[in-house]
Amino acid sequence: MEITTQMIKELRAATNAPMLDCRKALQDANGDFNKAVDWLREKGMATAAKRSDRTASNGVVEMYSHGGGRVGVMVEINCETDFVARAEQFRNLAHEIALQIAASAPKYITAEEIPAAELEHEAGIARARALEEGKPENVLAKIVEGRVEKYKDEVCLMRQAYIRDETITVEKLVLQNVAAIGENVIVRRFQRWELGESTRE
C-alpha cells in the first residue's frame, strides 16, 4: 500500500512522533492507522524504559482536594529538568496521578515496597478462602498466587488500572508520558488523607 504524505501528517498530528518514525510505522503496519499508532507507542515505551535509569531531581509537588475537602492528596513527581517540570504535559500528569491516588487509595507506589509479612498475611487469607471454597489441593498454590497478585494490583499505584482508561495501568500512563516528554519521570512519594480516618495502622 502506498504511504501518502497526508497519512504521515495525520499520524504525526495524533502522536507527535517524528515524521520518519511515522512513515516507518505506517510502512510496517501496511497503512493501518491504528496499528501504526500501536507501533509508535511500543517504540516509545522501549525508549521510555531506557530512560528509567537517568537521574530525576526536578519536578513538582501536586496537591489535590476531592469531595469538598473530604479527601486530600499530596504527591511528589520528579523529572530531569526544570524546563520539563514547568511544562503543561508534566503538570497534567502530576494532576492525573493525584486524582488516581484520591480515587483508588493505593498504599504503595510499587509492589517491591510491600512488606513480606503483609504478603504472607494476604497469602494466608487467600489459602483459607480457597480451602473454604473446596478448591482441590493441587491447584491451591496457583489460586493463592493469583489472589496475591490481584492484591498487589489493588494496593500498588503503578499496578492499578488508570481511572480514565482501564485498559492501561498507571505505570503505562507514566511510560507514555516519558516517551512523549523525553525525560525520566518518577513518582517519588505520596500521602493521602481522608476525613475522619484513623491515623493508626
**If pLDDT is split at 50, 70 and 90, which confidence band does 50 have?**
low
Q: What is the pLDDT of residue 53?
A: 62
pLDDT, one tens digit per residue, over 150-196 is 999 999 999 999 999 999 999 999 998 888 888 889 999 999 999 98
Q: What is the pLDDT of residue 62?
A: 95
For residue 156, what is the DSSP state?
B
Q: What is the pLDDT of residue 95?
A: 96
Contact 56, 78 (CB under 8 A): yes
Contact 171, 79 (CB under 8 A): no
The architecture that CATH gives domain 5-51 is Orthogonal Bundle (1.10)
Cell output for 93: 500528569
Q: What is the pLDDT of residue 49?
A: 56
User: Where in 9-143 does DSSP place strands (E)?
Assistant: 58-66, 71-79
Residue the block writes with cell 516528554: 181
Domain boundaries, the chain: 5-51, 58-110+156-194, 115-148
Q: Which helix (H) or strand (E) holds 27?
A: helix 19-28
Amino acid identity at 60: V
Q: Residue 45 pLDDT > 60, yes or no? A: no
Contact 66, 102 (CB under 8 A): yes
Q: Which helix (H) or strand (E) holds 171?
A: helix 170-181
Contact 168, 36 (CB under 8 A): no
pLDDT, one tens digit per residue, over 108-155 is 999 999 999 999 999 999 999 998 888 888 888 899 999 999 999 999
pTM of the entire structure?
A: 0.70
Annotation: CATH topology of 58-110+156-194? Tetrahydropterin Synthase; Chain A (3.30.479)
